[in-house]
Structure 1
Amino acid sequence: MTPINKRVLISGLGIAGPTLAYWLKAGGFEPILIERAPKPRTDGYVIDFWGLGYDIAEQMGLGPDINRLGYHMRELRIIGDHGGRLAGFGVKVFDELTDGRFITLGRSDLSGLLFDAIRGETEVVFGDEIVDLREDADGVRVKFKHGRERRFDLVIGADGLHSDVRRLVFGAEAHFETPLGYGVAAFEVAGYVPHDEDIYLLYGQPGRMVGRFTLREDRTLFLFIFVTDRGALPTTRDAQKAMLRAVYADGKWECPKILEELDRADSLYFDSISQIRMDRWWSGRVALVGDAAFCVSLAAGQGAALAMTSAYVLAGELAKAQGRHREAFAAYEGALRDYVAAKQSGAERFALAFAPKTHWGMVFRNQVVRAFVIPGLARFALGREIIDALQLPQYPWASLCELEA
């Protein structure tokens, strides 16, 4: 049976957007993607990828490419002012908890693989954005910043923490954002030495952390997490760099050298670490997925997997309901609401683990990490966070798609 409400506009070409487009296409819908950037994004940071997101990626046939592009990290190592090892643990426990399906990879690499999965099969509009949405009984009239006005049956916001679709339909971001009191920045450079292959190095002082991770092709990624006040973070590149230099001005270890590399960076990712908490993820013919609906924050560690899971479930429920959007949207939210809430509740604890705000907080964190060498303790301490409590729903169209692949 051909579904009703077939034409679905998806805003955002990150993680949730192309995942949703892929599964909607499998369910007989006609997804159209719009992305404000002029081309697929390549900046960002590395993510740890496992769980339900990995399951969905494998169903999409992306498992081999994820393993090809990803990194099998051996150790997370906390170091002191002079580079000496203070604490750390091997991450083999993650492989054990996920049956070997745990990998570290660039967020943009994952996004690129998802885009490749829909390339040529789905209309994608780059360099434009939604500026107005007008819903009536039969659909949604959408105005764009540059393109002509078009009409769609449904509109889905997959446009991240700072979602324009959410703002247009539900209200200002400030109504839904819960800052966790940290900022995050990341950049890559080529030719940095030293190299520490497959080891994530973390150096911290109270309220600030900088991490270094060696990438392929002689590139190195630097990740900063730092305490901020509740005021707005700078928005211009020069002001963002100036803030990083001020925050880490007296940092030891490689901080002076890393700050010098800022001027060589091709791009700089810079944002707050925040959550989005909403009473409802849909209104009429418009729904939100991923960070746009329920950002758990970078600190929670599963943003990409949750984005893919929400996209998969939304597409599945739309297919199951044959496009009856109210029925599908309600079922989608009902399936994921408690699961997402549990992930959000642990996010602040993870942020504190990365960048404790006091000296004694750092001492305690290091003692806990040292204790992970005790057999079974890391598995006990991390298992609840690593093993997903949600059973991924199985939809008939997904099985048919696999048979046709």
Structure 2
Amino acid sequence: MTTRTVLISGGGIAGPALAFWLNAAGFQPTLIERAPTLRTGGYVIDFWGLGYSIAERMGLGADIERVGYHVREVRIVNDHGSRITGFGTRVFSEVTDGRYVTLGRSDLSRLLFEKISRTTEVIFDEEILALQELANGVGARLERGGERQFDLVIGADGLHSAVRRLAFGSEHEFEKKLGYAVAAFETHDYRPREEDAYVMYGRPGQLVGRFTLRDNRSLFLFVFTSQDDPTPVGLHAQKAMLRQRYRDAKWECPRILEELDKTTELYFDSVSQIRMNRWTNGRIALTGDAAFCVSLLAGQGSALAMISAYVLAGELLRAEGRHEEAFPKYEAYLRDYIGRKQQGAERFATALAPKTQVGLWFRNLVIRIFAIPGLARLAVSREIADSLELPDYPWPAAVD
């Protein structure tokens, strides 16, 4: 196979994972990321199952355990901070054979970038402005890099994918809003600090979570109903919306809002899924959230990004670079699996932050039932078990 060039847009999880496996398959990837540097902060993810298996195949198992956290308890508290209910998380580790970890999404991205730093052309502060499919490739007009041509172009650029917009259509054609918005930020020197516990406080249509990080940092997560509200643009407007939504909230919320005033980095977005009938168009393909975002609240986006990147690169390898053979097999292998994950994610969003007082009561009742021996394992196994078997591709290059 003649070395094929592949332009990858997006430096989160799917992009560098895809670059790694394309390198292993003998391709020549170029990765661009519109941010000027690697992103930091953000939010934490739960990482398990097939995504974890792929990370191990990349030699990242020990690193993920080193930077990750092993949460012991999820605790739900009332207005005064007293425990209402909760559950231990040992069952998650048991169901996944000990391969379950919580880590910062930006930490996972950094580990992936370290694996490709010597083998992949990486360009920060760059974005695709236009794409044109040619007889023997794809012409890409870059914001700063001018005109370049590649054999293939892959959009791994997330929920708000530019590649999807340029090659498939506007975002509103594919976005399914789940009726919530989410925000997250980090702060230093916050007290109390409760190691390896995720503490949540909720009212109808609102949730605040607190998680203790290393280096004297704490992470706060907001989840709240947002039906047709436009996502505010800019840090000032986003803070204003959070202050308005949580102005009457109890527990530690007044202090958390004080910390919010100090932050200069805030993650803020709608909770949405991407639903598409096809993930490929000629020589252009999508992977990860750009193709099938299950929603941030599902907690599986990063693992699914790793899986889709692995399968996409593997099918290109099997087809010796013939995208017209590889792309349909990539879609066929993953589509039903991803569909089931999206359905489960819709249920989870409603269960995490119920919109009514009755919904809160029922959620807490279900959590109490988790204490009954055997039921927790049965419920967790049904929700997080992977029904997909990873293909074994004949990678010709050393995986290191």
Q: TM-score, normalised by structure 2?
A: 0.99
Corresponding pairs, count? 400
- Structure-2 separation of matches of 1:277 and 1:96: 32
Deviations 1:348-392 (A, max 9, x none): 211112110000100000011011111011111111111100001
Please give the residue correspondences for 1:369-380 in structure 2 after superposition, counting only pairs within 5 Å.
Answer: 369-380=367-378
- Structure-2 separation of matches of 1:372 and 1:73: 17
**Does the C-alpha gap of structure 1 residues 12 and 383 become closer, same or farther in structure 2, counting only changes over 3 Å?**
same
Partner of residue 61, structure 1: 59
Residue 159, structure 1, aligned to residue 148, structure 2: no
User: Which secondary structure state, in structure 2, belongs to the residue aligned with residue 396 of structure 1?
Assistant: coil
Partner of residue 48, structure 1: 46
Please give the residue correspondences for 1:5-404 in structure 2 after superposition, counting only pairs within 5 Å.
Answer: 6-397=4-395, 401-402=398-399
Query: 1:43, CA displacement in angstroms?
Result: 2.6
- Structure-1 separation of matches of 2:324 and 2:73: 46
382-391 or 108-117: which moved more? 382-391
- Structure 1 residue runs of 4+, over 4 Å off? none
What is the letter of the counterpart of residue 313 of structure 1? V
Q: Is the 8 A contact 1:179 1:230 kept in 2?
A: no
Deviations 1:284-308 (A, max 9, x none): 0000000000000012220000000
Deviations 1:232-262 (A, max 9, x none): 2101111100000011110000000000001
What is the letter of the counterpart of residue 143 of structure 1? R
User: Which secondary structure state, in structure 2, belongs to the residue aligned with residue 217 of structure 1?
Assistant: coil
What is the letter of the counterpart of residue 266 of structure 2? L
User: Which secondary structure state, in structure 1, belongs to the residue aligned with residue 146 of structure 2?
Assistant: coil
- Structure-2 separation of matches of 1:164 and 1:120: 27
Q: Percent identity?
A: 64
What is the letter of the counterpart of residue 81 of structure 2? G
User: Which secondary structure state, in structure 2, belongs to the residue aligned with residue 149 of structure 1?
Assistant: strand
Q: Is the 8 A contact 1:3 1:319 kept in 2?
A: no
User: Which secondary structure state, in structure 2, belongs to the residue aligned with residue 397 of structure 1?
Assistant: coil
Query: 1:61, CA displacement in angstroms?
Result: 0.3
What is the letter of the counterpart of residue 351 of structure 2? A
User: Which secondary structure state, in structure 2, belongs to the residue aligned with residue 43 of structure 1?
Assistant: coil
Query: 1:263, CA displacement in angstroms?
Result: 1.9
- Structure-2 separation of matches of 1:124 and 1:349: 38
What is the letter of the counterpart of residue 401 of structure 1? A
What is the letter of the counterpart of residue 67 of structure 2? L
- Structure-2 separation of matches of 1:3 and 1:382: 46
**Does the C-alpha gap of structure 1 residues 3 and 322 become closer, same or farther in structure 2, counting only changes over 3 Å?**
farther
Q: Is the 8 A contact 1:276 1:296 kept in 2?
A: yes
What is the letter of the counterpart of residue 103 of structure 2? L
What is the letter of the counterpart of residue 370 of structure 1? R
215-224 or 295-304: which moved more? 295-304
- Structure-2 separation of matches of 1:388 and 1:97: 11
- Structure-2 separation of matches of 1:314 and 1:237: 36
Query: 1:3, CA displacement in angstroms?
Result: 4.4
